[in-house]
Structure 1
Amino acid sequence: MTCKTLNIYYTNDLHSHFENWSKVSSFLKEKKKMHELQGTPYLLLDLGDHSDKVHPITEGTVGKGNVQLLNELQYDYATIGNNEGITFSKKELEELYTEATFEVIVSNLYHQDGTRPSFAIPYKIHELNGVKVGIIGITIPYEQFYSLLGWTIHSPYNYLQELVNDVRSQSDVVILMSHMGLGNDEQLAREMTGIDVIIGAHTHHVLKHGVIVEDTLITQSGKNGNYVGEVTICFDLENDHVLEKEAYAVSVRNRKEDDLTRESIKQLGLKAQALLDEVICRLEQPLEAEWFKPSVLPDELAAALREWCHADIGMINSGMLLDGLSEGNVSRENIHRICPHPVNPCKVILKGSELREIISYAMTDEIVNLSFKGLGFRGEVMGIMAFDGLEVKTVLMEDGLHHVTDILHNGQQLISDEEYAVATADMFTFGKFYPQMKHAKKKYYLPEMLRDLLEWRLENRY
């Protein structure tokens, strides 16, 4: 029996947490040195969401700083996550990997004319230690958002088995790079045959030793650069089958930082800062942003939403703005600092009765004081709702809580059966807070970020 060992290392869901990247780098450089001394090859993969525009480096360099860091560690392959796919414009994504020294593998992304993007391939056959490894890439198909950006994204469930069969016919081992999340990975393992390992991402699970589903090994290594993933496969060349496969999620929390990588990140920060220093307007007086009482800047964002989306009403939670703006020059960096979220605007058609229910709930202390992370929101607290095109009156009752007494549109009470076009944040349509928005039959999503609308509003108004 001749066993060939395949060593694979991977990262997933860094989300531009560069404070951990130099530790990841230290770990990977140590592994590289070990393999060079042993004369054994290995693969290095990234599973997507390496980029996150919440960080100024990613925002300022439009993700190219992330690509540079992957290049420096000599990654072999990467797939895209939803952060690369739907928080970058189509043009930005098409240009993101122009200087990449690794190949991008994603099989379910197309131009709307049916052709594949030039920066990506659907799969790759890579010979590793004498074994042919077939590598397929897939990403989570947020169809509506990709369509808005000019892409077509397919569900892997509709075509993947045929592709796996094709790749399997050319390979000894088949690896699926999946930015689909653990639930989908488990379902794919149950429904598809011929996949040896699914290296996963998206849901940020820490699978310290992986899980086996229908003889497929599934692995994932957390988020934010806290872990690096390892996969080891022992392949029997004589009998042409996998003997063993193991997975590990290795913490890098206590590792020493790599000095060269830390310096690269520092230089990228300076480069990004220069790009973000562009002045968009000058304020003669401060624009305050309060979370628990009405203030000017959230009102401006609500107005920007209403105008940009051509809606009757604009509404946004004040906590979407992390801070106000001081008088003087306002730069792109200032806007990014106070509104870093990868959250998009949308327009929802709601009946007056539904809108009344939403507003009444939004103004409760429970929601106003709610602290949460997720759905793209990177703030501290929800805050009160700011409105444009709507007047909401509340009163403090004997129970110590604020209660909505009147909701006026154009000076008139909301009409229960009348429809209103409401511009707001897309995260409110995902059902966690306001099921009325989730179940609305008419929803229109826009590709811009909320900070783009705020920047547009300030540039044209001040």
Structure 2
Amino acid sequence: METIYIYHTNDVHSHLEHWPRISRFLKQKKASHQQQGEDVFLFDIGDFLDRWHPLTEATKGQGNITLLNECEYTAVTIGNNEGVNLAYEDLDRLYDHAAFDVLVANLYKKNGLYPDWVKPYKIYHTKKGTRIGVIGLTAPFTILYELLGWKLTEPISELKKWLTIVKEESDIIVLLSHLGKNEDERIAVEFPEIDVILGAHTHHFFENGKRVGDTLLGAAGKYGYYVGEMTITLTDQKDVTQKEANLYDFNDLPIIQNEQGQILTFLNKGKEMLNQRITTLSEPLVHAPFKETNFSKLLSRTLREWCSADCAMINAGLLLGTLAGEVTNYDLLEVCPHPINPCVIELTGMELQTVLLQTKDEDLPHKQIKGLGFRGTVLGVFVYDGIDFAENTIFINDSKIEFEKNYTLALPDMFTFGHFFKEVLPQKQKRYFLPEFLRDLLKWKLQMPSSPYA
């Protein structure tokens, strides 16, 4: 009999406050298995980095790759935080020093070739000669990848293509899937020849895995709250006799010496690298999620100007702090950590009025938001530029709104992903501006010689 050990992480999102403990756990597990002559593999299923963290922002993710190297990961796939939250050049250089394989079967360059750092799959061999075929797939944010200069193909079609080859070369098939829980379960039904699916993207977790037919699904939640383990037992004839899954809770891992010191080192290294002065403010830019301030008005105006739109709206909860005095790149990251891009939508006056009236819902500012790139807590009030409300009438740039006229509205892209304004926005054409985040727009505005706050 042969037992193969797999450890997996996913959606860590640069929560490096958990990493010292996880790192030691993984290193100890790997060393223990190797001392016993056992085969062990370590996989990350994407979104290991997130640019809210100063070290990730300052190094454009390469600091995170160093951490994966130190743990001797076998392979990773990418998530959307690697794929669409980095400029083309930054993603293309991200894995320059990676000591592991990057498996993404559905990511191509515009010319239809894989980047030098990508493989669609890899066959790994155990000491007893068992062949483990590992394929990687990432979530199909096709339009955003195209805007950044990549070509992303439909993942299921890509899986069908490569499975034909991998089945011939493998005894066991493992899928690294940054596609989400529902897609993983669908794949398990449609492709029963896959032995193990390690999942991510929807931040789900399976305490002891989930069986769909003969396929075992594993997932380890988010932020490093869990580390996943799988064991696969085979006969000498390469027949799988047993598959088991388990999660290790971060809180159950032993605290390590100087843990807080290591966590602070990650933060301080990034902070130091981001300590370049942007401007010195003549008066504070004030943060207040439940009322309009000079800061939220500035962001809304900046968004409209950047996008050359007729009008703009933002939610005040996007700003997480006040700026005063000397402002650095680190300060901008602190007050606007979101990987949220500008977006423009063309609406008729009637459609625009429908959206704007919904923003006046008194319960909306207190709505707590998770996902969609949002890194704050509450939505906050809506703040507008080029839009005024007076006597039950909406004015766009001082003119009464015309229902048949077309207007361009600039807004944070989080409002276009299906959770808000469902009657109007989902079916409309969107123009996304990448790779700039909202904090990049603020930097652009504050560095203008004409800035009223400089």
- TM tier relative to shorter chain: over 0.9
| 2:446 pairs with 1:458 | yes
Q: Deviations over 1:224-280 (max 9, x none)?
A: 111110111112232x32111111122121322344876555443333112211111
TM normalised by structure 2 equals 0.95
Q: C-alpha displacement at 1:410, in angstroms?
A: 2.3
SS of residue matched to 1:298: helix
Report the equivalent of 1:296: 294
| 2:341 pairs with 1:344 | yes
Amino acid at match of 1:434: F
Partners of 1:294 and 1:178 lie apart in 2 by 42
Partners of 1:89 and 1:205 lie apart in 2 by 28
Report the equivalent of 2:429: 442
Select which of 74, 79, 83 maps to 2:81.
83
Q: CA RMSD in A?
A: 1.6
Change (3 A) 1:439 1:36: closer
- The aligned runs of 1:44-63 (5 Å cut-off) are 44-63=42-61
Partners of 2:347 and 2:413 lie apart in 1 by 14
Q: C-alpha displacement at 1:281, in angstroms?
A: 1.3
Select which of 367, 378, 386 maps to 1:389.
386
CA contact (8 A) 2:16 2:266 kept: no
SS of residue matched to 1:42: strand
SS of residue matched to 1:217: strand
Report the equivalent of 1:418: 405
| 2:418 pairs with 1:431 | yes
Report the equivalent of 2:329: 332
| 2:367 pairs with 1:380 | no
Report the equivalent of 2:243: 245
Partners of 1:139 and 1:357 lie apart in 2 by 35
Partners of 2:307 and 2:169 lie apart in 1 by 50
CA contact (8 A) 1:229 1:250 kept: yes
SS of residue matched to 1:237: coil
Partners of 1:440 and 1:199 lie apart in 2 by 33
CA contact (8 A) 2:344 2:410 kept: yes
CA contact (8 A) 1:123 1:136 kept: yes
Report the equivalent of 1:190: 189
| 2:306 pairs with 1:318 | no
Partners of 1:60 and 1:363 lie apart in 2 by 38
Q: Deviations over 1:128-162 (max 9, x none)?
A: 23211111111111101111111111112113122
- The aligned runs of 1:169-180 (5 Å cut-off) are 169-180=168-179
**Paired residues, number:** 448
Partners of 1:5 and 1:182 lie apart in 2 by 27
Partners of 1:265 and 1:117 lie apart in 2 by 33
Change (3 A) 1:313 1:292: same
Report the equivalent of 1:402: none
Q: Deviations over 1:176-225 (max 9, x none)?
A: 11111110011111122421111111111110111111311111011111
Report the equivalent of 2:165: 166
| 2:17 pairs with 1:8 | no
Report the equivalent of 1:206: 205
Partners of 2:202 and 2:368 lie apart in 1 by 21
SS of residue matched to 1:19: coil
SS of residue matched to 2:252: coil
CA contact (8 A) 2:297 2:385 kept: yes
Runs of 4+ that moved beyond 6 A: none
CA contact (8 A) 2:104 2:121 kept: yes
Q: C-alpha displacement at 1:431, in angstroms?
A: 2.3
Q: Deviations over 1:366-421 (max 9, x none)?
A: 11222222211121211111111122347xxxxxxxxxx23111211111121110
Partners of 2:203 and 2:267 lie apart in 1 by 26
CA contact (8 A) 1:345 1:423 kept: yes
Report the equivalent of 2:217: 218
Partners of 2:397 and 2:407 lie apart in 1 by 12
* Identity score, percent: 41
Amino acid at match of 1:438: L
Q: C-alpha displacement at 1:167, in angstroms?
A: 0.8
CA contact (8 A) 2:34 2:40 kept: no
Amino acid at match of 1:201: A
Partners of 1:310 and 1:251 lie apart in 2 by 48
Q: Deviations over 1:10-34 (max 9, x none)?
A: 1111111111112212321231232
> 5+ unaligned residues in a row in structure 2: which ranges?
none
Amino acid at match of 1:457: K
Q: C-alpha displacement at 1:320, in angstroms?
A: 0.7
Q: C-alpha displacement at 1:56, in angstroms?
A: 1.3
Mean CA deviation greater in 283-292 or 146-155:
283-292
TM normalised by structure 1 equals 0.93
Partners of 2:257 and 2:79 lie apart in 1 by 28
Q: C-alpha displacement at 1:303, in angstroms?
A: 1.3
Partners of 1:343 and 1:22 lie apart in 2 by 29
